[in-house]
C-alpha cells in the first residue's frame, strides 16, 4: 500500500517537471538541457525573495516563476534563436547555459543544507494506514490542476492551438501565419512555469541543492525518452513507470540505485526502441 | 549611389602551392611548411620553455590530453557526423582498464597503456555499436548518459575501489618521458588522422556525414565505416585516459567526469571544427585559461560555458578557420 501511494505521488510530481521538458521539445524541437537549471533557479529565487526581501510566500512564488520565465525566454531570444535547427549546437548551447547557471549558483553560495522552503501546510495525514504529509498531497493536487489547465490551454485557446499546430507540422502552421519563433518563446515560458511550479512543490520536501538540477534533468530526459520525445501522453505514462520503479528500487534495493535505474532505462529504450513507447518521430531513427 | 562590397580572393601563392609546383621555390615551400612547422616545433619546445616551472609542465601534459580528446570529438563530429558527448566515457574506460591491468595484474606501464587502449576501445565500440543507428540528439544523449551511468554504477556497487578509485599505479620514469610521450602521441594522432581523412576511407567517412543513404547505395557498408571511426576515436580517447591514469597514479570517478566532455567540445568550438588542428589550438587556449581561472573555483565552469555560448552564437567558425582564411585569402572592396 505504501509503495502504491508513494509511487503514485512520486509519479505525478515526476510527470510535472518531465512535462516541462517534453513540452519545450515537442514545440520547438530544442532539447532544453537548461531545464534543471531553471528548476533550481526558481527554488533559489523563491528562497531569496522570502528570506532576503521578506516577501509573502505566494508573492515570492509568483515572482520567482515570473523571473525564471524571463530567464528562459531570454535564453531563447539571445542564444537559441541564432542556432535554431542545428541539433548539436542546440544541445551544446542549452547544456552550456544550464551548466553556467547551476555552477554559477553553486559559486554564488548555494551550498549546504541551509536553504529550505517551507511547506504550504505542515503536518501529515493517514490514508489507508500510510502516513502522507500534506505537502505531497498538495503537490499532487496542484500537479493535477496544472495538467487540467494545460489541457484546456492547448485545447481551447488560440495560443494553445497554435502551439499544438507548430508541434504537429511546423511548415504548415508557418504558412498559416503562426510565428514559429514566438511560439518557441511561449513554449519556453510555459515549460518554465511548469518547472517552476514543480520546483516550489518539491523543494519543501528536502533542501535546495544544486545537484537537484542535474537529477531533475536526468529524470526528465529519462521520462521523455521512454515516453517518446515530444509525446505528451507518453511522457505522463513513462513518468508513472519511472516513478514506480524509483520507489520500488528505493524499497527493495537502495536509494543509490534510483539514478542508475533511470540511466539504464534511457540506454535500454534508446537501444531497443529509440522513438520511445509512444513516439511518433520515426524519421529520427536511421535506416542504416 | 556607388555601392561597394567586400570580395575575398585567394592569394597567388596559395594557388601556386596547391599543385606540384610547390617545390619550385623556397618561398612557396616555406608558405606550405611554415604553419605546420610552427605547430610541431612549438609543441616540442613547450617543455623546454617551461623548464623552470614544473607546475606548468604538468599543465602541458593535461593540455595535450585535452587536445587529443578534442581531436577525437572533432573527428567523430565533423568528419563522420556523430556527435559524441561522451569524451568522459573513453577517458574513464581507458583509465580504469589501465589501472586494472597495472594494479591488479601487475602489468608494467609500457604494456598496460597500449593494452588498455586496445581493450578499452573495443569495449567502448561494443557499447556504442547498438546506438550507431541513432541520429543527432539521440546519439548525443546516449553518449552523454554512458559516463554518468558508469559513475553511478561504480559508486553504487562499490566496485573498483568505489569512490576512492584505484590508487598506487606506476608512474612514468621521469618528467622528460611524461612530457614528450604525450606530445609525441598528440602529433602522431593529429597528423595521422589528417592523413587518414584525406585517404579514400576519409572521403567515405565525410560522405557518410553528408549523405549516408547515397554511401549505402554505392555498395559501401555504412555501419562498418562508422564502427571503424568510433573505434579509432575511442582508441585515441582511451589512450589519453590510460596516460592520465598513470600521470595521476590513480584512476577514479573523476575520469568519467563531464570535464572530459565539455572542455574538448569548448576547445573544438573555439578552435574551429573539421580540421582537427582547430581542436589543438582550442585546447592550447582553453586549458591554460582554466589554470589561470583556478582561483575562481567552480566559477570557471561558468566562464567556460559563457565563452562557449558566445563562440557558438557569434563566431561559430572558430579561430582556426578565421586564421586560415586570412592566411590564404585577401579581401578587397569592389564596386557593384
Grid cell 585517404 in the structure block, residue: B199
Instruction: Please report the beta strands in B211-264, taking only residues with DSSP state E, as ranges in sequence order.
Output: 250-251
Please give the angle made by the CA atoms of B69, B157 and B129, to the nearest 5 degrees: 45
Could you tell me whether strands B166-167 and B250-251 are parallel, antiparallel, or unpaired per DSSP bridges?
antiparallel
Grid cell 585559461 in the structure block, residue: B289
3-state SS of A177-231? CCCHHHHHHHHHHHHHHHHHHHHHHHHHHCCCCCHHHHHHHHHHHHHHHHHCCCC
Spell out which chain A residues touch chain B, with contact meaning CB-CB distance below 8 angstroms: 31, 78-79, 82-83, 87-93, 95-97, 99-100, 103-104, 106-107, 218, 221, 225, 229, 254, 256-257, 259-260, 263-264, 266-267, 270-271, 274, 284-288
Which pLDDT score is estimated for A284? 47
Contact: B145, A266; criterion CB under 8 Å: yes
Q: 3-state DSSP call for residue A125?
A: strand
Contact: B133, A285; criterion CB under 8 Å: yes
pLDDT at B322 over 50: yes
Q: What is the mean pLDDT of residues A61-82?
A: 86
Contact: A83, B316; criterion CB under 8 Å: yes
Contact: A100, B305; criterion CB under 8 Å: yes
Q: How far apart are CA A268 and CA A261, in angstroms?
A: 10
Which helix (H) or strand (E) segment holds residue B331: the answer is: strand B329-335
What is the complex's ipTM, to 2 decimals? 0.76
pLDDT at B221 over 70: yes
Nearest chain B residue to A29, by CA = B137
Q: What is the pLDDT of residues B288-302, one digit of tens each?
A: 888 888 777 777 778
Q: How many CB pairs (< 8 A) connect A and B?
A: 131
pLDDT band at B175 (very low <50, low <70, confident <90, very high): confident
Which pLDDT score is estimated for B231? 92
Which pLDDT score is estimated for A114? 66
Q: Which of A64, A65, A69 is nearest to A49 (CA)?
A: A64
Which pLDDT score is estimated for B186? 92
Please give the angle made by the CA atoms of B155, B161 and B167, to the nearest 5 degrees: 135
Contact: B148, A263; criterion CB under 8 Å: yes
Which pLDDT score is estimated for A279? 64
Q: What is the mean pLDDT of residues B302-327?
A: 83
pLDDT band at B232 (very low <50, low <70, confident <90, very high): very high
pTM flag (> 0.90): no
Q: What is the mean pLDDT of residues A26-35?
A: 81
Q: What is the pLDDT of residues A228-238, one digit of tens each?
A: 776 777 888 88
Which pLDDT score is estimated for A287? 38
- The number of folded domains in chain B is 1
Task: Return the higher-pLDDT residue of B118 and B85.
Answer: B118
Q: How far apart are CA B100 and CA A46, in angstroms?
A: 48
Q: Which of A213, A162, A168 is nearest to A186 (CA)?
A: A162
pLDDT at A286 over 50: no
Contact: A270, B141; criterion CB under 8 Å: yes
Q: What is the pLDDT of residues A163-206, one digit of tens each?
A: 888 877 778 888 888 888 888 888 888 888 888 888 888 877 77
User: DSSP secondary-structure letter at B119?
Assistant: H
pLDDT band at A267 (very low <50, low <70, confident <90, very high): confident
Q: Which residues of A touch B266 (CB under 8 A)?
A: 96
Which helix (H) or strand (E) segment holds residue B120: the answer is: helix B109-128
Cell (9 digits) for A269: 529504450
- Residue A39 exposed, middle or buried by CB count within 10 Å (0-12, 13-18, 19+): buried
DSSP bridge partners of B8:
B331
pLDDT at A217 over 60: yes
Q: What is the pLDDT of residues B102-146, one digit of tens each?
A: 888 888 888 888 888 999 999 999 988 888 877 667 788 788 888
For residue B183, the enclosing domain spans 4-335
Task: Return the higher-pLDDT residue of A197 and B252.
Answer: A197
Q: Residue B169: what are its φ and ψ, rounded to 5°?
A: -80, 160
Q: Which residues of B touch A31 (CB under 8 A)?
A: 137, 141
Q: How far apart are CA B285 and CA A232, in angstroms?
A: 43
Amino acid at each position: 500500500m505504501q509503495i502504491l501511494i508513494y509511487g503514485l505521488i512520486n509519479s505525478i510530481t515526476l510527470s510535472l517537471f518531465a512535462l516541462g521538458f517534453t513540452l519545450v521539445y515537442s514545440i520547438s524541437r530544442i532539447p532544453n538541457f537548461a531545464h534543471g537549471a531553471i528548476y533550481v533557479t526558481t527554488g533559489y529565487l523563491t528562497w531569496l525573495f522570502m528570506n532576503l526581501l521578506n516577501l509573502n510566500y505566494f508573492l515570492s512564488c509568483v515572482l520567482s516563476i515570473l523571473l525564471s520565465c524571463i530567464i528562459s525566454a531570454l535564453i531563447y531570444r539571445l542564444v537559441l534563436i541564432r542556432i535554431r535547427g542545428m541539433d548539436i549546437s542546440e544541445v551544446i548551447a542549452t547544456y552550456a547555459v544550464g551548466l553556467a547557471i547551476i555552477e554559477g549558483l553553486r559559486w554564488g553560495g548555494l551550498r549546504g543544507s541551509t536553504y529550505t522552503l517551507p511547506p504550504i501546510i505542515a503536518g501529515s495525514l493517514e490514508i489507508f494506514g500510510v502516513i502522507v504529509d500534506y505537502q505531497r498531497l498538495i503537490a499532487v493536487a496542484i500537479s493535477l490542476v496544472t495538467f487540467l489547465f494545460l489541457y484546456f490551454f492547448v485545447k481551447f485557446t488560440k495560443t494553445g492551438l497554435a502551439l499544438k499546430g507548430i508541434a504537429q507540422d511546423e511548415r504548415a502552421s508557418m504558412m498559416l501565419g503562426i510565428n514559429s519563433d514566438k511560439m518557441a518563446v511561449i513554449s519556453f515560458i510555459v515549460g518554465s512555469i511548469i518547472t517552476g511550479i514543480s520546483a516550489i512543490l518539491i523543494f519543501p520536501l528536502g533542501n535546495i541543492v544544486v545537484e537537484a538540477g542535474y537529477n531533475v534533468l536526468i529524470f526528465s530526459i529519462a521520462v521523455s525518452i521512454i515516453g517518446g520525445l515530444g509525446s505528451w501522453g507518453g511522457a505522463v505514462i513513462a513518468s508513472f513507470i519511472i516513478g514506480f520503479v524509483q520507489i520500488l528500487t528505493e524499497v527493495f534495493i537502495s536509494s543509490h540505485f534510483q539514478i542508475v535505474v533511470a540511466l539504464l532505462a534511457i540506454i535500454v529504450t534508446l537501444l531497443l526502441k529509440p522513438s520511445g513507447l509512444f513516439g511518433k518521430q520515426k524519421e529520427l531513427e536511421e535506416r542504416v | 549611389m556607388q555601392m561597394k562590397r567586400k570580395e575575398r580572393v585567394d592569394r597567388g601563392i596559395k594557388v601556386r602551392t596547391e599543385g606540384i609546383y610547390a617545390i619550385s621555390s623556397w618561398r612557396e615551400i616555406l608558405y606550405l611548411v611554415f604553419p605546420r612547422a610552427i605547430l610541431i616545433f612549438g609543441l616540442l619546445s613547450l617543455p623546454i620553455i617551461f623548464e623552470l616551472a614544473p607546475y606548468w609542465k604538468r599543465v602541458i601534459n593535461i593540455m595535450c590530453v585535452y587536445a587529443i580528446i578534442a581531436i577525437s570529438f572533432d573527428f567523430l563530429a565533423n568528419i563522420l557526423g556523430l556527435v559524441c558527448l561522451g569524451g568522459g566515457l573513453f577517458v574513464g574506460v581507458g583509465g580504469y582498464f589501465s589501472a586494472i591491468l597495472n594494479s591488479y595484474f601487475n602489468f608494467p606501464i609500457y604494456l598496460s597503456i597500449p593494452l588498455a587502449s586496445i581493450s578499452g576501445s573495443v569495449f567502448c565500440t561494443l557499447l556504442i555499436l547498438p546506438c550507431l543507428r541513432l541520429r543527432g540528439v539521440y546519439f548525443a544523449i546516449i553518449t552523454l548518459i554512458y559516463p554518468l551511468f558508469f559513475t553511478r554504477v561504480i559508486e553504487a556497487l562499490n566496485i573498483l575501489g568505489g569512490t576512492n578509485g584505484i590508487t598506487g599505479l606506476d608512474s612514468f620514469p621521469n618528467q622528460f618521458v611524461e612530457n614528450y610521450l604525450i606530445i609525441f602521441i598528440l602529433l602522431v594522432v593529429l597528423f595521422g588522422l589528417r592523413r587518414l581523412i584525406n585517404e579514400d576511407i576519409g572521403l567515405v567517412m565525410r560522405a557518410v556525414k553528408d549523405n549516408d543513404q547515397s554511401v549505402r547505395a554505392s555498395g559501401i557498408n555504412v555501419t562498418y565505416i562508422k564502427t571503424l571511426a568510433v573505434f579509432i576515436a575511442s582508441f585515441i580517447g582511451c589512450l589519453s585516459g590510460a596516460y592520465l591514469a598513470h600521470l595521476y597514479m590513480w584512476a577514479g570517478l573523476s575520469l568519467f567526469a563531464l570535464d572530459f566532455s565539455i572542455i574538448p567540445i569548448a576547445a573544438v568550438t573555439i578552435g574551429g571544427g573539421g580540421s582537427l588542428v582547430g581542436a589543438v589550438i582550442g585546447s592550447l587556449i582553453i586549458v591554460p585559461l582554466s589554470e589561470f581561472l583556478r582561483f575562481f573555483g567552480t566559477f570557471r565552469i561558468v566562464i567556460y560555458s559563457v565563452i562557449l555560448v558566445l563562440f557558438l552564437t557569434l563566431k561559430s567558425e572558430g579561430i582556426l578557420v578565421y586564421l586560415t582564411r586570412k592566411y590564404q585569402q585577401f579581401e578587397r572592396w569592389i564596386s557593384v
